[in-house]
Amino acid sequence: MPSDSMNIGVSGMDAYQAQIDIISNNIANVGTTGYKSQNVTFQDMLYQTQLPASGPTASNGGVDAQQIGIGVKIGQTDTTTSQGGVQTTGVNTNMMVNGDGYFILNNTDGTGSPKYTRNGDFALNANGTLYDPANGLGVMGFTANAAGTISAAGTPGPIQIPIGLKSLAVGTGAGYKLGPNGDKVFDISTAGNLDSTVFASAVSNGAVAPASLMTAGTTIYDSLGDPHLVNITFSPQITNTVTSTPFTPFQVDNPSGALVTAATEWAYTVSSTDGTKFNAGSTVSPVQYAFFDQNGQFINTSGVSGPATATGTLGSANVHQAGALCSTASGDQLTVTQWGTPAGANNSVTNTVTPGPIGLDFSSMTSLAGTGAQLTTNQTGVAPGTLDNIAVSQDGTITGTFTNGQTSTLARVALATFQNEQGLVRLGNSDYAQTNASGQAQIGTADSGRFGSIAGGSLEMSNVSIADEFTKLITAQNAFTANSKSITTANTDLQTVIGLIR
């Protein structure tokens, strides 16, 4: 009947109009952060059976069913979950997921039903909560304890980034230990060169001229974080302490216990500029010694000048041994007995500030022919600091950077995956909600399983392909037009039937 054809045409126009709507929505969201494009699939509708099927008989081969369809409908709208491109923003709170994971959003007090998103355009609110400015929901994750340790067990909660958090001061010698040459026992490491020609000239002249002294300043910190400037001064040791004759090469144990011939020997002291006192209650430390081989490379330090014996050797009893704590006997320790008062100090009673030993490492220094210079490359003390920046690593760990150069682990972003991503329902604002079809969210962290990795300072772009959408749009438009033609044709047929009666 012509009316059936008209209804079939209408169903086709409705279906393809819906596809055009979906394509238009994809094109409209080509610039939407984290947007995933949609596709539509069609299914045929019910059929009118004109003649039922019959099986073969002894005299007849059987008849196939005769059916006439009555239209088309939308079977399913699904989501293309392919990875979108990378947009680098340089904003530290922006994140993108490379993988299947979704960020988890919820009320900033952790209550309510969570939402899920691929849009990592996050920011910090006035309370330091990491949140989505588009809807005010907090980003869920796991917060580190005071020691910077994160436990990813349990239910994730809102991530707090306490901008303005204070970092405690650490006195030099009380913080983490430095590890030059695999030896994690030092507090100050220096690099530079002690001019071997100056050493040779001093030995030849039998005296240490003022120009032979090589001094460089470095800063150490007390337990309140007050800085104290000290000077490390090296001078040629020109006398053989055993024979009282001009310096001659002798052997020294290196930290591994192997004897190496020392071609130069340098005496050094540490002096303060603000009244800080050392081992013997003086502002100048006791003399200690550093030895270098014929190639100008560092051998070891000692609390005594060499050689210490008539055999011309300086053995393990008086030098630093690998892994051993620093000491004045091995010539690599500075002991502060009282801190001085630097300009602008925040400690008015210096004697109440705990002093302590400081390990000195010179393994990166040389004694070559050339200009003498010293540089402190690392030291364990820090002044108080304030949290002023964050960075996000691939596993979602948020690390804070303080104004004193220290870093601390603050939190880790949680991610969710689903057994059936197609079952998620779209809520708008680039958010999704789980359904019975998607299954329960599987909670975890990045860089594990299907969760993928996180790129900080970046956002995921829409995965819409303009070329694909325009191609599908042309096809849908032509299908829509063709269905409209079937309606006009059915209308013409209906008019012909009506015209049979004059």
pLDDT tens-digit map of 288-313: 999 999 999 999 999 999 887 777 88
pLDDT digits (tens, 9 = 90+) for 89-116: 999 999 999 999 999 999 998 888 999 9
Higher pLDDT, 2 or 366: 366
Nearest to 220 by CA among 365, 401, 360, 366: 360
Which amino acid is located at 59 in the chain? S
pLDDT digits (tens, 9 = 90+) for 14-28: 888 999 999 999 999
What is the rounded CA–CA span in Å between residue 210 and residue 329?
A: 27
| DSSP state string for 52-111 | --B---SS---B--EEEE--EEEEEEEE--PPPPEEE---TTBEEEESS-EEEEE-TTS-
| Structural domains in the chain plus CATH codes | 2-82+464-498 (no CATH), 90-165+386-460 (no CATH), 180-383 (2.60.98.20)
What integer best gives the mean pLDDT of the chain? 88
Residues in the chain: 502
Q: Are strands 313-314 and 250-253 parallel, antiparallel or unpaired?
A: parallel
What is the rounded CA–CA span in Å between residue 184 and residue 195?
A: 28
Is the Cα torsion angle 471, 474, 477, 479 positive or negative in sign?
A: negative
> Which residues are paired to 189 by β-bridges?
361, 378
What is the rounded CA–CA span in Å between residue 6 and residue 429?
A: 39
> Which residues are paired to 220 by β-bridges?
228
pLDDT of amino acid 353 = 65
Contacts of 452 (CB under 8 A, 6+ apart): 97, 98, 99, 100, 101, 415, 446
Q: How confident is the model at residue 198 (pLDDT cuts 50, 70, 90)?
A: very high
- In the block, residue with structure tokens 């309140």: 224
> Which residues are paired to 129 by β-bridges?
160
Q: 493: which 2 tokens? A: 């047929």
What is the rounded CA–CA span in Å between residue 410 and residue 160?
A: 8
Q: Identify whether the C-beta of residue 7 lies closer than 8 Å to the C-beta of residue 70.
A: yes
